[in-house]
Amino acid sequence: MIQAFVPKKELTKYMGEADVKSISLSTIFGAASSSCSFAALAAARSLVKKGANFIAAVAFMFASTNLVIELGILILIFLGWEFLVAEIIGGLLLITISSIIIKVTYPEKWFKKAREKVNQDGSDVDEDFDWKKRITSKKGWRMVGKNFVDEWKMVWEEILIGFIIAGFVAVFVPTSFWNKIFLIEMTDTLPGWLIALENALVAPLVAAMTFIGSMGNIPLATVLNANGVLFAGIMGFIYSDLMVPPLVSVNAKYYGKKIAFYIAGVMYISIVLTALILNALFGAFAIIPESNRVVNEVAQFKIDYTFYFNVSFVLLAGWLVYLQKQFVNIHLSESMDEEDNISTKRIFAYLFMAVLLGGLLVKLFI
């Protein structure tokens, strides 16, 4: 909808510069968007395509995955209100630090090429239009459907592969493994500040290794917390949802490899600094949160409000696919629509789909 209905000239008035106003508004827009990690990247790409500054886009990504209601609810349920307060304060710190780092180290040539790549990918969008007329037209909503399908074509493999690997990690990696990584068994022999530093440095790498996104890493963060991982490590782990390999791969597809690794590097440094600042700040006031809550079992399928939301959005997705088909039939040739190569990643995605199906059959019949 951003791509189809928001004129570039309107957006750049608010997010086109690397100033406090743009970053603040990007933070508010991001928090309001309430996106999962993959959706945050897709939305940020849409904003960049419309003319938003890259610093504002990164602020949007952090806000839309760390300053959102549903994540706060999960943290409140699994970890407690103290961690929720820390998450909000840390989210604002994270955006501030990353914005400063990018502003100081801004690789102008890289970002210029990245913007050119973003503008070249996908169909050209007319920027001189009346959004009120377009949003009430059939063509406008067909464009929304096409954009929706195009985004899913770009990221569905990463999503599928990432979450299946995350499932295997959650089930088969023993607790003792995390204990060794975070030096939990050495708390009596090493100074606390050194373990906090190690936890903050290692947590983003562990989060990347698990392939788990913003919502899925909260239960695992609870497991780490219950096993003695320090506050700095827990917060570093929670903030690292945008650093998992599938998301870096999506950014590489959007902007190119240089910018994808640059953004990942900025995120890593920002996350480590934020975790350490939070640890020092809360420690100075002796309010470092602790939680004894544990995840007794993995959440199972339920007929509750999330089920009805899922059904509703499946129907919405079906409608958008229908609109995409209409757009293709009217505006594009069939030959353009059918261009699609079977990549190695696609083969792995199909293989993992078979694994999912096998697991479902085992669950149902054995």
| Per-residue confidence (pLDDT) for residue 297, from 0 to 100 | 46
| Per-residue confidence (pLDDT) for residue 33, from 0 to 100 | 67
Task: Compute φ and ψ for 319, nearest 5 degrees.
Answer: -65, -40
Give pLDDT < 50 ranges for the chain.
297-298, 334-338
pLDDT in tens, 282-337: 988 888 877 555 555 445 667 888 789 889 999 999 999 999 999 988 876 544 44
Euclidean distance between CA atoms 112 and 121, whole angstroms: 14
| Per-residue confidence (pLDDT) for residue 336, from 0 to 100 | 47
Residues written for the chain? 366
| DSSP state letters, 78-93 | HT-HHHHHHHHHHHHH
Q: Which of 19, 21, 61, 24 is nearest to 270 (CA)?
A: 61
Interhelix angle for 217-226 vs 192-210, to 10°?
A: 150
Q: Which of 270, 203, 209 is nearest to 230 (CA)?
A: 203
Q: For residue 290, give the 3-state DSSP assignment.
A: coil
Any alpha helices (H) in the chain, and if so which ranges? 2-5, 8-15, 20-33, 37-49, 54-66, 69-78, 81-105, 108-120, 131-135, 138-172, 175-181, 192-210, 217-226, 231-238, 245-255, 257-284, 305-331, 334-337, 344-365
| Per-residue confidence (pLDDT) for residue 335, from 0 to 100 | 41
Q: In angstroms, what is the C-alpha Rg of the chain? A: 21
